[in-house]
Amino acid sequence: MTDLSKLLQAKMPLAAWIIDVEQSSVPCCNQAAEALLIGSLNDIKSGQRAIPSELRERLSLHLASLDIGESLPFKWPFTSKDGVEYQVRGSVIALDNARKGLFIEAHPASQVDVVAVSQVDSLLDHHAGLLAQFRSLSFAIFDRHGAFVEASDYFITHFGGIKHVRELFAVSGAANSFIRRLAHQENLFQEIRLATQNGIRWHKIEVSYHPLTNMIYLLTHDIQEERDHEVALYRLNNYDGLTNLPNRNLLYHQLESALINARKRRRQFGLLYLDLDGFKVINDNFGHRVGDELIQRVAERIKESIPSGACLYRLGGDEFVVVLENTHSISELESIAESIMQNASNTYPVAKMEMMITASIGIASYPQHADNVDNLLKNADAAMYRAKSMGHNMCFVYQSSMADNIDAYLTLGGGLRKAIEEEQFILHYQPKIRLPDETVVGAEALIRWIHPELGMISPDQFIPLAEESGLILPLGEWVIRRACRQLQEWRKAGYPDIKLSVNLSSRQFMQADLVDMVEKVLEETGVDSKYFELELTESMLMVDAQQSIEKLHSFRKLGLTLSIDDFGTGYSSLAYLKKFPIQTLKIDRSFIHDLGLDSDNDAIVKATIAMANSLNLKVIAEGVENRAQVDVLNKYHCQEVQGYLFSKPLNSGDFLVYLDSHRAVV
């Protein structure tokens, strides 16, 4: 084995000092160092006590910040024998703890090495100890053709008996480039993968070629553990722990690069924004462990459903994004979305159960729908919410007309959240009039937002925003609670019992715990459920007819009445409606508008009322604005009407005044 003490003395063309930094002394230095005792380096001679305090401080500083085997660049000015000012350059390398180190430096004319350590008891003991430490460095010498000459014990244990420097490299290309650079007598300092006895590992290497000996001096430091930590940290920052899918960070990176590519090559790329329907219910009912397992299975299923070039990301919760580069058309994106929805909706064996879940997907494409990453994501997200509000298991392609809503969402959306917290809403009540005696028998509760700056905002403006942001759930609950409290207040004030209806939005109707919530509010307020009515639209019910039927039966069990709003605008037939346990049909105002003016329209209204009566359903006509309409409706035996002819929606005070003057005489 090489005796590095000899190496230090004889073979190294470098001047080398062993410096006890703590004692500020120089236990020894080699022959080359003796020959270079010039200028400020003159103070650093063998057996010398007290090195220059500035040098000592700087060495201490360097050594203190280093771990074993680590190095730092070091500069020190000195003047040569012939009076030339030089800047010594090299690096400090720690030996066995942060306070002991090896310092190698070079200047233009020759090379200078300094070994610096601290905490030495005696010079002699110290000398032996230092050499042992030096031996523990991974250090080797090669001739200028790369043939092995000598190495430290540690080097040989770590890399094995090698004959040529080439054998160190994991990749032949790296070896070639290394040898090429050495041929140009370049000094190297780099991080590279080397082949060790324990496999390929990352190393920091420091190489210098010395023309005096024609030798290559190589110092290596194994940094595989640091690299492993870096990789672990990278994974933590960029991958989702549950599914191992790349996360939002990597999504942004890929989208940015997809955008650059698409711009450069004038290509398209697409984005599918995916959210599972009703995942919260599974989490709430079966626990997060089952929810997590389901998310993993769904992720696998989605991965199987997308083309090989596509990339799947998990944004967190039940949200995923698929990025498809180099797409040709939106219909291509739609057909991929369809196949994801189809595959995802098959059952999953989770926790010894057969689980089912569906997904809603929003689609946006560059350049059609946005020209930057943020807008693309935002638009795909909005399209996803639109898909959700249309029902389960749907996909929706972003439309530019949604931009108005999104802009409004950005300006009103934040305010809407605050408005819910601060209850900036009121309910107005539009009387429902019985025919033919035209007395008030009920009312429809209609929400109004009293914005602190914008004044009263119509529900047409903010209900779609509330739907798309999910805020409709707390807002809808507020409406139900407020309406029930109002009923009780009227009752307690001695007004006759009337039926009050509220509108449900489609997202609200999908809410898994809707029935429980309504039941809780009824109990809380003490309202007699037969005076409370829910208005639902046909399209809402037809999204998942079977589930709707079950939900409606649950409401019926609570004693509520159920009404189909906007009847005639959807696609359900009266025969089909028989399956729904409903009590009232509200004919849409578009049919009432032309009543008495268009015979086909009249025939439809007449037939609807007749068929509804035969099915034992009450009929109410909305949007009644003139007497002629009332006359026709009376002729067809329509039971109730609602519209501006009788009253616009009123605040609760005005409504009571109206009620007083239009109530049935008993």
511 lines the binding site for ligand LFPHGCPZ (CB under 6 A): no
Of 126 and 586, which CB lies nearer to ligand LFPHGCPZ in the complex structure? Answer: 586
Q: CB burial class (10 A; 0-12, 13-18, 19+) of residue 184?
A: exposed
Of 576 and 644, which CB lies nearer to ligand LFPHGCPZ in the complex structure? Answer: 644
Helices (H) and strands (E) in the chain, counts: 25, 28
Q: Give me the amino acid identity at 448.
A: R
Q: Which residue from 479, 540, 541, 659 is in contact with ligand LFPHGCPZ, where contact means CB under 6 A?
A: 479
447 lines the binding site for ligand LFPHGCPZ (CB under 6 A): yes
Q: Could you tell me the two tokens for 356?
A: 């089912």
Of 383 and 427, which CB lies nearer to ligand LFPHGCPZ in the complex structure? Answer: 427
442 lines the binding site for ligand LFPHGCPZ (CB under 6 A): no
- Rounded CA gap, 339 and 130, in Å? 69
User: Which of 595, 540, 597, 603 is closest to 566 using CA atoms?
Assistant: 540
Q: Which stretch binds ligand LFPHGCPZ (CB under 6 A): 46-54, 397-405, 597-605, 618-626?
A: 618-626
Alpha-carbon distances of 616 from 166, 516, 572, 609, 611, rounded to whole Å: 93, 28, 17, 10, 9
**What is the three-class DSSP state of 196?**
strand
505 lines the binding site for ligand LFPHGCPZ (CB under 6 A): yes
- Rounded CA gap, 45 and 2, in Å? 26
Q: Which residue from 84, 211, 644, 664 is in contact with ligand LFPHGCPZ, where contact means CB under 6 A?
A: 644
Of 219 and 447, which CB lies nearer to ligand LFPHGCPZ in the complex structure? Answer: 447
458 lines the binding site for ligand LFPHGCPZ (CB under 6 A): yes
Q: DSSP characters for 411-469?
A: IIIHHHHHHHHHT-EEEEEEEEEETTTTEEEEEEEEEEEEETTTEEE-HHHHHHHHHHH
String marking each residue 573-602 x if it binds ligand LFPHGCPZ according to CB under 6 A: ----------------x-------------
Q: Could you tell me the two tokens for 560?
A: 């509520």
Of 350 and 447, which CB lies nearer to ligand LFPHGCPZ in the complex structure? Answer: 447
Phi, psi of 253 (to 5 degrees): -60, -45
623 lines the binding site for ligand LFPHGCPZ (CB under 6 A): yes
Q: Write a three-state SS string for 22-91.
A: CCCEEEEECHHHHHCCCHHHHHCCCCEECCCHHHHHHHHHHHHCCCECCEEEEEEEEECCCCCEEEEEEE
643 lines the binding site for ligand LFPHGCPZ (CB under 6 A): yes
**Residue 326, by phi and psi: left (phi above 0), alpha (psi -120 to 50) or beta?**
left
Q: Which stretch binds ligand LFPHGCPZ (CB under 6 A): 40-48, 199-207, 370-378, 497-505?
A: 497-505
464 lines the binding site for ligand LFPHGCPZ (CB under 6 A): no
459 lines the binding site for ligand LFPHGCPZ (CB under 6 A): yes
- CB atoms under 10 Å from CB of 191, counted, come to 12
Q: Give me the amino acid identity at 223.
A: I
Q: Which stretch binds ligand LFPHGCPZ (CB under 6 A): 47-55, 296-304, 340-348, 616-624?
A: 616-624
- Rounded CA gap, 332 and 131, in Å? 70
503 lines the binding site for ligand LFPHGCPZ (CB under 6 A): yes
Of 326 and 590, which CB lies nearer to ligand LFPHGCPZ in the complex structure? Answer: 590
**How near is the Cβ of 470 to ligand LFPHGCPZ at its closest, in Å?**
14
Q: Which stretch binds ligand LFPHGCPZ (CB under 6 A): 68-76, 135-143, 176-184, 643-651?
A: 643-651
Give Cα 533 to chain centroid, integer Å: 40
Q: Which stretch binds ligand LFPHGCPZ (CB under 6 A): 110-118, 203-211, 511-519, 623-631?
A: 623-631
Q: Could you tell me if 109 and 12 are in contact, meaning their C-beta atoms sit under 8 angstroms apart?
A: no
Residues in touch with ligand LFPHGCPZ (CB under 6 A)? 430, 444, 446-447, 458-460, 463, 479, 502-505, 565-566, 589, 622-625, 643-644, 649
